[in-house]
Amino acid sequence: MSCRLDDTGDFPWEADGADTPDAVVLDLSTMEMADARRAVGSCRERKLPVVAALPKDAIGRYDPTLNPDDLLICPTSDDELTLRMQQVVFRVNGPSGSQTLSIGDLSIDLERYEVSVAGRRVTLTYKEFQLLSLLASNPGRVYTREALLSQVWGYDYLGGTRTVDVHVRRLRSKVESPGRSFVETIWNVGYRFKAPG
């Protein structure tokens, strides 16, 4: 898409309430360099990969300090554009799906340390987040309290296994509700994350 920021520095899709794209292509044949710089800066703030499309006849006037994630000389084929977009998304965001665990209504962003349930953001302590991430990464696997204590708190932690129970209880109060449970107690053993359906 060619892109132009509005006067507030927002992109057109933000004003319309549309979904954020995976990447942005800036058409440098239709933009002033000042607008292109603002657009690249805004993309960086939003962690959006940006490809600058430069007309062949403007190569001599291109300013390398614009520094987009990739540069495309136009005209080009649709296949090359698609391939470059896939590459730039991978370069900026890494392998798709590797940073987010999604299980039913639960979403865990491992990169941003954010958790949401049914679209509602949930605030967890660091240990609660680690505990949930470990369990959710291995659904169905039963962890003893001792195993959770050593993997989340570390081998040198002096507290007892009761710490695990307290953190699981707090975690459940934040992410679970009637009819929606994620962490299952295995009596006299420990806990497991319920395998999806």
| Contact of 193 with 183, CB cutoff 8 Å | yes
What does the pLDDT average to over 185-193?
92
Q: Check residue 7 and give its pLDDT.
A: 44
Q: Check residue 17 and give its pLDDT.
A: 56
User: Residue 94: how many CB atoms within 10 A of its CB?
Assistant: 11
167-185, pLDDT tens digit by residue? 999 999 999 988 888 999 9
| Contact of 54 with 74, CB cutoff 8 Å | yes
Backbone angles phi, psi at 178, to 5 degrees: -55, 130
Higher-confidence residue: 18 or 154? 154
Question: In DSSP terms, which residues pair with 102 in a beta bridge?
Answer: 107
Strands 106-109 and 142-144 turn out to be unpaired
25-69, pLDDT tens digit by residue? 888 888 888 888 888 888 877 778 888 888 999 888 888 888 888
- In the chain the domains, ranked by start, together with CATH numbers, are 12-93 (3.40.50.2300), 100-193 (1.10.10.10)
| Helix residue spans in the chain (DSSP H) | 12-16, 33-45, 78-93, 126-137, 145-148, 162-175
117-154, pLDDT tens digit by residue? 888 899 999 999 999 999 998 888 899 998 888 888 87
